[in-house]
Amino acid sequence: MSETYDPDTLAQAVARGMTARDNAAQAMGVEIFDVKAGSAAARIVVREDMLNFHGTCHGGLMYAFATSVLAYVMNGDNRAAVAQACSINYTRPAQLGDELTARCRAVNQAGRSGVYDIEVTNQKGETVALLRGQSSKIKGEAVPGLNVEFGIEGMG
Amino acid sequence: MSETYDPDTLAQAVARGMTARDNAAQAMGVEIFDVKAGSAAARIVVREDMLNFHGTCHGGLMYAFATSVLAYVMNGDNRAAVAQACSINYTRPAQLGDELTARCRAVNQAGRSGVYDIEVTNQKGETVALLRGQSSKIKGEAVPGLNVEFGIEGMG
Amino acid sequence: MSETYDPDTLAQAVARGMTARDNAAQAMGVEIFDVKAGSAAARIVVREDMLNFHGTCHGGLMYAFATSVLAYVMNGDNRAAVAQACSINYTRPAQLGDELTARCRAVNQAGRSGVYDIEVTNQKGETVALLRGQSSKIKGEAVPGLNVEFGIEGMG
Amino acid sequence: MSETYDPDTLAQAVARGMTARDNAAQAMGVEIFDVKAGSAAARIVVREDMLNFHGTCHGGLMYAFATSVLAYVMNGDNRAAVAQACSINYTRPAQLGDELTARCRAVNQAGRSGVYDIEVTNQKGETVALLRGQSSKIKGEAVPGLNVEFGIEGMG
């Protein structure tokens, strides 16, 4: 009965349900916040095990972090979606201990397909990466049997 | 004195030097192999901590895995390079326990900029993702003070 | 009754049907050739009216040329398809009078979505651009009422 | 002596100088307007000779139109720049007679490399395409011998 809730409340409930089962985001230490219908944010601290041989944050893990928040935005209406394609431009290296924030917003929806922009900034507000993702709706719910009223805190 | 060695030998020596310091690739369990000048391959097994809330391999970690091998190819001449941009098309989900192979090859070099293609396949030989990366040469060596003759095994 | 023909013959018939109605490709002087199921090629000569203010071939028109052949490959089974996304890497400028060849091949098909690679080379065989396109099947036929046996020459 | 002018005035003077020599944009009927430092817009009407075999605007020409305005933004400081890579997401077809507007803005500058976003909308304000371009500064001026004070009208 998702459709009886306002879109922001629904998106936050979906995010709570997703978080509990999102092993990869947990393992990376990703914290999701500011979830609304069509947008969300995430935070991470660059750890030792995220460094590449240059001694800076592995570009692949920066991408993994940034697309973690994408998953929350594209599934925010609880209609399951997957990323179909994504591109990233790296604009500045991130260092050990940097606190990175990724902000994602839906840019366009057309049929089953959506386009999303994500900006990753460091603790100084400098842009470190820009992503554009494309999603495709698949069958099923993002969080099957979602209870929107369960767990009213967090994510908002 | 890198330039006195044949390109494949050099690329393999660089890869050995990089591997020792590549925290992120180690943490993901990435195994690099088949290193040549202009190409390399990598292997990974999808672990529990790589799954997303759908229960399939997190698309961001698949990207992180795939671009790990890119780093070895674009630095294979020991002139330091970084990824400037990259795009990925997801063609099939990967499951827990899947053994993924990423094969990267240099497609074009123009000045300081290179273009690379990476294909990720599963243990059945099915394509799970296609990436195209763009590199930029920066100052310095990938492995400063590289000893090409040290550690003659592995990587090849 | 497309399905009674072998895939290459079908692709060539579709190409003939498309060519007749492809205003944009005609206006650019695009010549389609080597059409098979899953691949095709195109040729163009860089004209005065294709130059940008640098005096080289406008990158947008190079893209337009390259994606003209993409249309033929992704519609080659006569199930109508449109480009959903595409990316291009420019590797070398093209000059007035250059003869450019674009070769496109299908790289992956998954459900209604396909991935295609296109390489554009000049008359010296040098790569001038690399494209990767993503298609989506839509309803209908590429060439409604296609007569596969009409016009048996050309395109092959 | 470009550096003695304010950035918007400079960008507009560069645009006037570029327009006079931009064969491709002229041939497509592209009208550049709203030029500032870091942003610009362009207008086009979809003509018969821009239609593909589906009878809608050729996606390649839509890209060519959209990247025409990119050229003005990335060269707006009169330091010559070229597009190194670009990606496009198509969100809606454009029809014969549609008036399309492309708005481009600089999103990031890092060293010689810039990232730009372009949105193409139709006369109803609907998004038809989203582009992200990456530029690289090359040697020389966009408009050699630019006279900033010549032709004080237009472009602004």
- Whether chain A has a CB inside 8 Å of the CB on C2: the answer is no
Give the separation between CA A135 and CA A133, rounded to whole angstroms. Answer: 7
Tell whether A4 is within 8 A of chain B (Cβ). Answer: no
Where does residue C150 rank: exposed (0-12), middle (13-18), buried (19+ CB within 10 A)? exposed
> In terms of CA atoms, which chain B residue is nearest residue D134?
B85
Sheet containing strand A127-141, edge to edge, reads: A31-36, A39-45, A99-110, A113-121, A127-141, A79-90, B79-90, B127-141, B113-121, B99-110, B39-45, B31-36
Check which CATH number belongs to the domain holding D32 and give it. 3.10.129.10
Asked if C49 and D77 count as a contact pair (C-beta separation under 8 A), the reply is no
For chain C, what is the mean pLDDT?
Answer: 93
Tell me the per-residue pLDDT of C37-85, one tens digit each, with 9 for 90 and over: 999 999 999 999 999 998 999 999 999 999 999 999 999 999 999 999 9
Q: Flag the least confident range among B17-21, B149-153, C32-36.
A: B149-153
Instruction: Provide the residue range defining the domain that includes B31.
Output: 2-141
Do the chains contact at B21 and A68, CB–CB below 8 Å?
Answer: no
Q: Which of C115, C130, C134 sits opposite B115 (nearest CB)?
A: C130
For residue A10, tell me if it sits in a domain: yes
Tokens matching residue A52: 């590449």
Tokens of C55: 């005096």
- Which residues in chain A are contacts of C134 at CB distance < 8 A? 84-85
Q: Decide if B127 touches C, using CB distance below 8 A.
A: yes
User: Does any domain span residue B154?
Assistant: no
Q: Given A92, A115, A130, which is nearest D89 (Cβ)?
A: A115
Does the structure show a pLDDT above 50 at D22? yes
Question: D133 CA to chain A: closest CA distance, Å?
Answer: 10
Chain B residues in contact with A22 by the CB 8 A cut-off are: 52-53
B63 vs A64: CB contact, 8 Å cut-off? Answer: yes
**What letter represents residue C97's amino acid?**
G
pLDDT at A111: 86
H-helix or E-strand spanning residue B134: strand B127-141
Q: How far apart are CA C50 and CA D153, in angstroms?
A: 27
The proportion of chain B whose per-residue pLDDT surpasses 90, expressed as a percent, equals: 85
Token couple for B143: 């492995």
In a domain, C147, yes or no: no
Q: How far is CA D12 from CA A150, B24, D36, in A?
A: 57, 47, 7
How far is D17 from chain A, CA to nearest CA, in Å? 30
User: What pLDDT shows up at residue D156?
Assistant: 63
pLDDT at B111 over 90: no
Q: Which residue has the tokens 């004195």?
A: B1
Report chain D's mean pLDDT, rounded to a whole number. 93
In a domain, D154, yes or no: no
Q: Is residue D52 classed as helix, strand or coil in its secondary structure? A: coil
Q: What is the pLDDT of residues D75-91, one digit of tens each?
A: 999 999 999 999 999 99
Chain A CB within 8 Å of residue D108 CB? yes
Rounded average pLDDT over D80-106: 97
> What average pLDDT does range D7-31 have in this prediction?
94
Q: 3-class DSSP state for residue C83?
A: strand
pLDDT-derived band at B5, boundaries 50, 70, 90: confident
Token code pair at residue D31: 């009208």
Answer whether B134's CB lies under 8 Å from B109's CB. no
Q: What's the pLDDT score for residue B153? A: 52
Q: What is the mean pLDDT of chain A?
A: 93
Q: How far apart are the C-alpha atoms of C60 and D59, rounded to whole Å?
A: 11
Residue D57 lies in a domain: yes
- pLDDT-derived band at D61, boundaries 50, 70, 90: very high
The mean pLDDT value of chain B amounts to 93
How confident is residue C88, by pLDDT bands cut at 50, 70 and 90? very high
Is the overall model pTM greater than 0.90, yes or no? yes
Determine the residue of chain A that is closest to C88 in CA distance. A87
The number of residues in chain A equals 156
The Cα diameter of chain A in Å comes to 51
Q: Closest Cα of chain A to D91: distance in Å?
A: 6
Q: How far is CA C154 from CA A79, C12, C19, C34, in A?
A: 47, 8, 11, 9
CA angle A20, A25, A31 (to 5 degrees): 80
CA angle A69, A9, A150 (to 5 degrees): 95
pLDDT in tens, A63-108: 999 999 999 999 999 999 999 999 999 999 999 999 999 999 999 9
Q: What is the pLDDT of residue C148?
A: 81
**In this model, does residue C17 exceed pLDDT 90?**
yes
CB-nearest to D91 from A89, A110, A130 is A110
CB-based contacts of A57: which residues, under 8 Å, 6+ apart? A46, A50, A51, A93, A94, A95, A96, A98, A100
Which residues does A86 contact at the CB level (< 8 Å), separation at least 6?
A63, A67, A70, A131, A132, A133, A134, B59, B63, B87, B88
The verdict on a CB contact (< 8 Å) between B89 and C115 is yes
Strand (E) positions, chain D?
31-36, 39-45, 79-90, 99-110, 113-121, 127-141
In the predicted structure, residue A11 carries a pLDDT above the cut 90: yes
pLDDT at residue B2, rounded to an integer: 45
Whole-number pLDDT of residue D151: 52
To the nearest whole angstrom, how far is the Cα of D84 from the nearest Cα of chain B?
Answer: 9
C6-42 per-residue burial string, b: 16 or more CB within 10 A, e: under 16: eebbbbbbbbbbbbeebbbbebbebbbebbbbbbbbb
C67/D contact by beta carbon, under 8 A: yes
Domain tally for chain B? 1
Q: Is A141 on the interface with B (CB under 8 A)?
A: no
**Confidence category of residue C5, pLDDT binned at 50, 70, 90:** confident
| Partner C contacted by A108 (CB < 8 A) | no
Please give the single-letter amino acid code of residue A10.
L
Measure A78 CA to nearest chain C CA, in Å: 22
In a domain, A97, yes or no: yes
Does B109 touch chain D if contact means CB atoms closer than 8 Å?
no
In a domain, B152, yes or no: no
In-domain check, residue C149: no
Q: Which comes out higher in pLDDT, residue A88 or B53?
A: A88
Percent of chain C with pLDDT over 70: 94
Confidence of residue C26 (pLDDT cuts 50, 70, 90): very high
**ipTM over 0.90 threshold:** yes
Predicted confidence at residue C151, as pLDDT, reads 52
Task: Find the residue in D nearest to B114 (Cα).
Answer: D84
Residue for token pair 């604009």? A91
